[in-house]
Amino acid sequence: MSLRKLPEAKAFKRPDCYQWDSPSDALGEWSDRPAAAEADEPNTISILDTIGEDFWGDGFTAKRAAAALRAIGKKDVTVNINSPGGDMFEGLAIYNLLREHPAKVTVKVMGVAASAASIIAMAGDEVLMGTGSIMMVHNAWGVVIGNRHEFTDAAEVFETFDQSMASIYAARTGLEESEVLAMLDGPTRSSDGTYMSAADAIEKGFADGEFDAGDQSNPSASIPADILARRRMEAVLAKQGVSRKDRAELINSLSGERDAAQTAARDAGDIDWAAEVGKLKQSLSY
């Protein structure tokens, strides 16, 4: 079990009408940062993607976390995080898995730990922030489709989620739950929440110290150009309020894929993703 006395995250029933998403600002921060290199050290888990499986089969899931922890066994583990968040159900499940690990868990925030990824970070017995890294906390949110009853049910689940997250953050930081809930609301009680620099996170108790995360200035150095451009395009679309599903369909149409469920592309290799991102930014600026 965790060396700290951390509360277990309650299991929640996923609403049938719920679709997860990552905060648009967090997607933007994450898309412009390099993916931290896979560590050569043994007993390391790298969470360098969205939380939960995305439309391209990427993303970090509780299933992956469980498999990695089984392989590591009862040994100290280091968890590297650079993620904009995503599926809050998956995030709490991964938090519980790390909380229950029988040896020390060290979390290193390599770039961004936002939303569901910040909850995962709280499972660390020691949480370290990399140079220039960011942590973000906010109220649970996602897309809900249905009638008024489904919206009411989803609102109740979201409120319970917020209380559960607040208790975890409060236990980790020593802050009052009321103060944590205010941070989740953010300055305008919107979904923006609260962004913290490494120094802010350490001061408030969300982290314990800093470490040198290396050069974070050149994202193209560690991410294939097509993936980097896809992330940037998705971040631009998310900022404009385009839903996660519609973003995937638009990006797939540009890449030559027939729909989000299919991976076979007609001529994806001919797409100049960087140029497409530039065109999209221009078109959305009017």
Continuous H helices in the chain: 24-31, 62-72, 88-99, 116-121, 148-173, 177-185, 198-204, 225-239, 244-255, 273-284
Residues 6+ apart with CB under 8 A from 22: 30, 50, 84, 85, 86, 114, 115, 238
- What does the pLDDT profile of the chain (286 residues) look like in tens digits? 556 778 888 777 776 666 767 777 777 777 766 555 555 578 999 998 889 887 666 789 999 999 999 999 999 999 999 999 989 889 999 999 999 999 999 999 999 999 999 999 999 999 999 989 999 998 877 677 778 888 888 788 788 888 889 999 999 999 999 999 999 988 765 557 899 999 999 999 999 999 987 655 444 445 666 666 677 777 677 666 676 667 777 777 766 654 444 443 334 444 454 555 555 555 555 4
pLDDT of residue 70: 96
Evaluate whether 233 touches 282 at the Cβ level (below 8 Å). no
C-alpha to C-alpha distance for 179 and 264, rounded to whole angstroms = 49
pLDDT of residue 2: 57
pLDDT of residue 227: 66
Strand, helix or coil for residue 95: helix
pLDDT of residue 26: 74
Strand, helix or coil for residue 257: strand
Strands 18-19 and 105-114, by their bridges, are unpaired
Residues 6+ apart with CB under 8 A from 257: 263, 264, 265, 266, 268
Strand, helix or coil for residue 45: strand
**Per-domain boundaries in the chain:** 18-211, 224-284
pLDDT of residue 283: 55
The domain 18-211: what is its CATH number?
3.90.226.10
Evaluate whether 89 touches 117 at the Cβ level (below 8 Å). no
pLDDT of residue 154: 78
pLDDT of residue 274: 53
